[in-house]
């Protein structure tokens, strides 16, 4: 492997006395791991932070070998870690991506969407400005990995009108009329998820509840409790912020 490209840092794991294994998301080659010599040094710690954009150089003699990785900072999002909410959002978005994407498979839409979410977190003056984008990113990740929701028509009637809920079993939308008497068993389908646009906090929290169910069931079940813990921290902080 010989690859030089920009990448979004997703996860850093200590390795040896001073090195680190870094997973980063590229546009053309997907998520790649690499060993960074001195990755825990004072010079490289600010570079190797989740959400940062780096110019990475991966080098390996064989396909089986963990590549050596050199990094140069292209864009730092370190200032965002001074604020609890943006820090929790970056931590969750990057941890989710690192946990579920297979290595070495290109997902250009995921790469582009993750960059957009991180840009929104960086630019928005308040969490409501990026929380909608985060919900949409989670839905995109589910769809990219084969677990997309069918929100185009009602599972019971086939209608596309007044869709207000989602079946937690099938992942299909349910109309308000068909849901009568079963609302407590269904997940909310906020308007912005289907129609786009901005959203109020009630709908945003409903969207996060919707995606949480399918992420835990289909992508993170039984193998990434620490990743879900990052999401719990984010949602807790969001709920405290809007209380």
SS3 call for 52: coil
Q: Are 75 and 51 in contact (CB under 8 A)?
A: no
Q: Is the pTM of this model over 0.85?
A: yes
Q: Using DSSP, how many helices (H) and how many strands (E) does the chain show?
A: 6, 9
Which residues have CB under 8 Å from 191's CB, separation 6+? 197, 199, 203
Identify the pLDDT of residue 235.
93
Q: Give tens-digit pLDDT for 90-108.
A: 999 999 999 999 999 999 9
Q: Give tens-digit pLDDT for 155-200.
A: 999 999 999 999 999 999 999 999 999 999 999 999 999 988 889 9
Query: Taking the CB of residue 81, how many other CB atoms lie within 10 A of it?
Result: 15
- Alpha helices (H) along 101-214: 108-123, 128-144, 191-195, 201-214
What's the CATH number for 79-242? 1.20.1440.120
Q: Give tens-digit pLDDT for 60-86.
A: 998 889 999 999 999 999 999 999 999
The span from the CA of 214 to the CA of 102, in Å, is: 18
Q: Where are the domains of the chain?
A: 2-76, 79-242
Q: Which CATH number fits domain 2-76: 2.40.50.140, 3.20.20.150, 3.40.1030.10, 2.130.10.10?
A: 2.40.50.140
């Amino acid at each position: 492997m010989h690859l030089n490209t920009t990448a979004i840092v997703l996860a850093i794991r200590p390795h040896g006395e001073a090195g680190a294994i870094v997973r980063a998301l590229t546009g053309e080659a997907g998520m790649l791991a690499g060993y960074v010599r001195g990755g825990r040094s004072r010079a490289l710690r600010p570079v190797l932070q989740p959400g940062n954009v780096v110019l990475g150089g991966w080098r390996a003699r064989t396909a089986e070998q963990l590549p050596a990785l050199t990094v140069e900072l292209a864009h730092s999002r370190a200032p965002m870690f001074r604020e609890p909410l943006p820090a929790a959002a970056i931590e969750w978005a990057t941890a989710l991506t690192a946990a579920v994407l297979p290595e070495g498979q290109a997902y250009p839409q995921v790469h582009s969407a993750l960059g957009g979410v991180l840009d929104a977190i960086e630019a928005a003056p308040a969490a409501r400005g990026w929380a909608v984008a985060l919900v949409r990113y989670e839905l995109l990740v589910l769809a990219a990995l084969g677990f997309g929701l069918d929100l185009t028509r009602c599972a019971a009637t086939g209608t596309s009108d007044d869709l207000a809920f989602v079946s937690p079993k099938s992942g299909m939308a349910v109309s308000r009329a068909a849901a009568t008497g079963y609302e407590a068993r269904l997940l909310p389908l906020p308007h912005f998820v289907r129609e786009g646009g901005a959203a109020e906090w009630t709908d945003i929290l409903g969207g996060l509840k919707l995606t949480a169910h399918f992420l835990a069931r289909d992508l993170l079940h039984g193998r990434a409790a620490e990743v879900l813990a990052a999401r719990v921290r984010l949602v807790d902080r969001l709920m405290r912020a809007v209380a």
